[in-house]
Amino acid sequence: MSYLIYRCDCGRVLYSKDTTKTKKCPCGKTFDVKKRRILKKAETIADATAEVQKMQEEIYGGVCFKTANEL
């Protein structure tokens, strides 16, 4: 199983399993995953998460993702 990485119209980078048909973005928009332009693929969920964080930081200027215990 692999994971697809793509963007919502709002600009947020998302990922989902390659078998997922529809996805709802936190902005509220629901869309068909197969009709999105796939930016990257990842083999594991850890790789997909890391890639999404990296892409979000590039888009929004070095925003640091932190866990609650790091705040």
Rounded alpha-carbon distances, angstroms, from residue 16 to 13, 21, 41, 71:
11, 9, 10, 28
Rounded to two decimals, the pTM is 0.80
Q: Where are the domains of the chain?
A: 3-70
The two tokens of residue 11 are 């600009």
Calculate ∠ Cα 23-58-53, nearest 5°: 50
One of 3.90.820.10, 3.90.950.20, 3.30.420.40, 1.10.1660.10 is the CATH number of 3-70, namely 3.90.820.10
pLDDT (tens digit per residue) in 12-36 = 999 999 999 999 999 999 999 999 9
Q: Output the six-digit token pair for 21.
A: 């048909």
The mean pLDDT value of the chain amounts to 89
Q: Are 33 and 22 in contact (CB under 8 A)?
A: yes
